[in-house]
Structure 1
Amino acid sequence: MSSPHEETRVQNTLEVNELQVSVADGLVAVHDVSFAIRRGESVGLVGESGSGKTLTCRAVLGLLPATGRVDAGRIVLGAGTDAVELTGARRSTWDQVRAVRIGAVFQDPASYLNPSLTVGHQLAEQLRVKGGLSRRAAQLRSIELFDEVGLHDPANVFHQYPHQLSGGMLQRVLIAIAVSCEPELLIADEATTALDVVIQAEILALLRRLRDTHGLSLLLVTHDLAVVAESCDRILVMYGGQVVESGPTDQVLRDPQHPYTQALMGVATIGSWHRRRLDVIPGQPPAAGEQMPGCRFAPRCAHAMAACVTGPVPVADLGGERTSRCVLADPLARDTSTTTAQAVSA
C-alpha cells in the first residue's frame, strides 16, 4: 500500500495512511484517515466531540481502549532507516517508541501523575528508565527541564507533590515529562482545554518554543479554532470519524471549502470577538460506528444533494496541499444535482 506522501517521506515524522479503527462490537469509529506530519511542523486536529480525534491519536500511541483495535491502514513513525511501522507493533517496539520518540500530553494532567510521588521523582524515573541516566544525572536534568518549561524555582518544584501545584504548573510538569527524552513527535490532546485563557496562552507559547528549540513535530488536538489559528501550520478537520478537509491553516480558516468547516467557522468566535450571537449547527453528529453509505455530514448540511448519499464520497485534491471530502469539490456533481438538503435528510 503506497503512501499519499511517498515522494516526501524523508521529511515526514509521522504518516497515517487509510487508518480504520473499530470499537465495541466491531463498530467502525475512524474511517479511512490519512495524513502526514513533517519534521518541525505543527498540525491541528479539530472537530466536535465524538469526531474521532482522540481515537486517532490513541491509535498512533498504541493506547486504544480494551475494546478498540486498528482494522486497516498503516501508521509509520520516522523515515528512512529510522522508520518504524507501528501498526500491529509488539510491546517491545512500543517500549522503544513511547516517551522516547513520541511524547503525549493530555487534558487534566493531575489524573496522569501519581499523587503519592513527587513530580521530580516521576520525571527523574522516566529519565532513568527511558534515558539511561544515573540517579544524580536524572535529578539535575529534571530540574533543568522544569526550568525550561517555565516553572519558577524548579529545584523546589522537584520535591513537591501534584496536589501542591496548580493546574497550569501540572501541565508544565507533564510537558516536561513528555519532552524529557527529546521525542520526534509530541501529541497534545486537549492539553489547554481546562486552563484559563492566560495560562492557556502561556502553554501554547511554551509548545511553540519547544518546537523551535527541539525541532519536534506537534499534533495538537482541540475543538478551539482560535488555538489552531495561533499555533498550527496546517489543519485537519474531522467529522464522523473522517478527515473532511485539510490544508494550510490560514487558507482553510480564511476560505473553508467543506460545508462542515464552514459551519464550524459560523459557530466559532475566531476573528469575531464582538459577536453577541453565534450560529448553531442543526442536528446531531452520527454516533460512533453508525453506518452511512455517503457523506456523514449530509443530514446536517444545507447544501446536500443526491450524490452526497448514494455512495462513498472520495477526498478531492484542491491543490496547494488542500483537500475536501465533498461532492461540491466536483463541479460536475455540483451542476447536475438539484436535490435539496430537505429531501436528502427526509
Structure 2
Amino acid sequence: MSQPEFDTYATSPRTLTVEDLQVSVGDHLVAVNGVSFQIRRGEAVGLVGESGSGKTLTCRAVLGLLPETGEVDAGTITLGEGATAVDLTGAARPTWDRVRGARIGAVFQDPGSYLNPSISVGRQLVEQLRVRGGLGRTEARERAVELFGEVGLHDPAGVFHHYPHQLSGGMLQRVLIAIAVACDPELLIADEATTALDAVIQAEILELIARLRRDHELSLLLVTHDLAVVAETCDRILVMYGGEIVESGPTEQVLTDPRHPYTRALLSVATIGDWSRRTLEVIPGQPPAAGAQMPGCRFAPRCRYAAQACLGGQVPLTEIGTGRSARCVRLDELVTDASPIPDRIEASA
C-alpha cells in the first residue's frame, strides 16, 4: 500500500460532505442510519462492507438516484463548499440536471445496462458533451474521440461508431468512464465498477481511475467489497455494517490495525497479500435486514467478542486517533497490536 498520509488532504477544499444521513426503503424501514463523512479534493475514499450494509444506498442518495421505495429521511448532502456549495438534500430536478454528469460522474458494475443499445457509444458521449458541457457538434465529436483515447481505447475514432454490443466488458467500462469524466466533474462515484471484470482488466481500469485522479484532482468514492482494491486505490476507508459506519480512517492504518471486530472479520476472509491461501473462511451468521430493530451493536449477534455491554443501547462512533474512529464498546479491551487475536474474550457479567 502506498497511499498518501492522511494529512495530505486535510486542508484541501471539501468536495462532498454527508452529515447524519438517514435513508429508508419500503415501509419506512431505515436502511442507512446516521452516516457522516467528507471527501476532499483529489482524495479517494473506499466504502466497504457486505451486501446489504448500505453502501450502494448511500451512493444512490448522493446521486439522487434512490429506488422508488427509497427516501432520504434526515441529514444533509452538500457538494462543494463556499460559493460553489450545492445542497443536494431533497434537490429538485433542475438542480440535479446541473450537477449530475457535470459536477458528479458515476460508473457502475454493469456498464452495458447504462448505455443505450441502439445508439453508437460515440453519439452517446457527444450527447453528454453537448448537453452537459455546452460544446458544439463538431467540437463535441472531436473531444469525444480524444476522450476515448485518453481512457485507453485503441482506435478511438473507430470505437466512436461502435454500438455497445460490439464492445467487450472492459471496453464498455472505459466508455462509461469517458462519459462520466467528460465534463471534468469534481467527484467520481465508482460503485462496484470493477467487480465483473477479470483481474487484468480490473487492474487496468483501476490504473485509469488513478491517472484521472492525478491529472484532474478528481475526488473518488469507491464502493466495493474487495479490500485488496481499496488497499491499492484509496487514501481512506469507511467500513459499513447494518446501515452504519462502524470504522473509518486512513486505509493503511485500518487494514493493518483494525479496531472494530467487523473490520477484523472482513480481513479474516480477505486475501490481501496472501493469494496462496486456499481455505475458504466465512463470517458466521447473516447481516441484519434493513430496518431490523436491535437493542445495541448491530454486529453483536455475529461478533466473537460480544458481551452484555454490547446490548446496552446504541453504540456511538468514537474517535481513536487522528482521522480514525470506530463504533465498539470494548475498544480499550480488544487487542490493538499485531499479536494473534484470542479465540474468545468471555462476555462480562
TM range (shorter): over 0.9
CA distance in 1, matches of 2:185, 2:330: 40
Structure number having the greater helix percentage: 1
Q: Deviations over 1:179-222 (max 9, x none)?
A: 00000000000000000000000000000000000111000000
Instruction: Check 1:275–1:331 CA distance in 2 against 1; reply closer, same or farther (3 A cut).
Output: closer
Q: Deviations over 1:299-335 (max 9, x none)?
A: 0001111121110000000112011011122569xxx
CA distance in 2, matches of 1:93, 1:25: 28
CA distance in 1, matches of 2:193, 2:129: 22
TM-score by length of 1: 0.93
* 1:305 corresponds to: 307
CA distance in 2, matches of 1:9, 1:181: 25
* 1:274 corresponds to: 276
Is residue 14 of structure 2 the alignment partner of residue 12 of structure 1?
yes
From 187, 199, 207, the counterpart of 1:205: 207
Question: What pairs up with 1:170-185 in 2 under 5 angstroms?
Answer: 170-185=172-187
CA contact (8 A) 1:268 1:278 kept: no
3-state DSSP class of the match of 1:100? coil
Is residue 265 of structure 2 the alignment partner of residue 255 of structure 1?
no
CA distance in 2, matches of 1:291, 1:203: 40
From 19, 32, 52, the counterpart of 2:54: 52
CA contact (8 A) 1:10 1:79 kept: no
Instruction: Check 1:217–1:32 CA distance in 2 against 1; reply closer, same or farther (3 A cut).
Output: same
Question: What pairs up with 1:63-78 in 2 under 5 angstroms?
Answer: 63-78=65-80
CA distance in 2, matches of 1:322, 1:279: 27
3-state DSSP class of the match of 1:218? strand
CA distance in 2, matches of 1:214, 1:96: 20
Q: What's the offset of the Cα at 1:171? A: 0.1
CA contact (8 A) 1:269 1:275 kept: yes
* 1:31 corresponds to: 33
Q: What's the offset of the Cα at 1:10? A: 6.2
Q: What's the offset of the Cα at 1:278? A: 3.4
CA distance in 1, matches of 2:203, 2:28: 40
CA contact (8 A) 1:10 1:80 kept: no
Question: What pairs up with 1:195-234 in 2 under 5 angstroms?
Answer: 195-234=197-236
Q: What's the offset of the Cα at 1:267? A: 0.3
Instruction: Check 1:196–1:296 CA distance in 2 against 1; reply closer, same or farther (3 A cut).
Output: same
Question: What pairs up with 1:83-232 in 2 under 5 angstroms?
Answer: 83-232=85-234
CA distance in 2, matches of 1:161, 1:261: 42
From 241, 244, 247, the counterpart of 1:242: 244
3-state DSSP class of the match of 1:43? strand
Q: Deviations over 1:212-261 (max 9, x none)?
A: 00111000000000000000000000001111000000010001000000
* 1:293 corresponds to: 295
Q: What's the offset of the Cα at 1:290? A: 0.8
Unaligned runs of 5+ in 1: 1-7, 333-337
One-letter code aligned to 2:302: R
Q: Deviations over 1:145-184 (max 9, x none)?
A: 0000000000000001001100000000000000000000
Greater Cα offset, 289-298 or 257-266: 289-298
Q: Matched residues, percent identical?
A: 73
3-state DSSP class of the match of 1:327? coil
RMSD: 1.7
CA distance in 1, matches of 2:256, 2:271: 14
Q: What's the offset of the Cα at 1:64? A: 0.3
Q: Deviations over 1:255-303 (max 9, x none)?
A: 1000000000000011211212133211111011111121100000011
From 42, 45, 56, the counterpart of 1:43: 45
Greater Cα offset, 158-167 or 321-330: 321-330
* 1:317 corresponds to: 319
TM-score by length of 2: 0.92
CA contact (8 A) 2:304 2:345 kept: no
CA distance in 2, matches of 1:100, 1:307: 48
CA distance in 2, matches of 1:251, 1:273: 21
Q: What's the offset of the Cα at 1:9? A: 8.2
One-letter code aligned to 1:104: A
CA contact (8 A) 2:12 2:41 kept: no
CA distance in 1, matches of 2:200, 2:11: 38
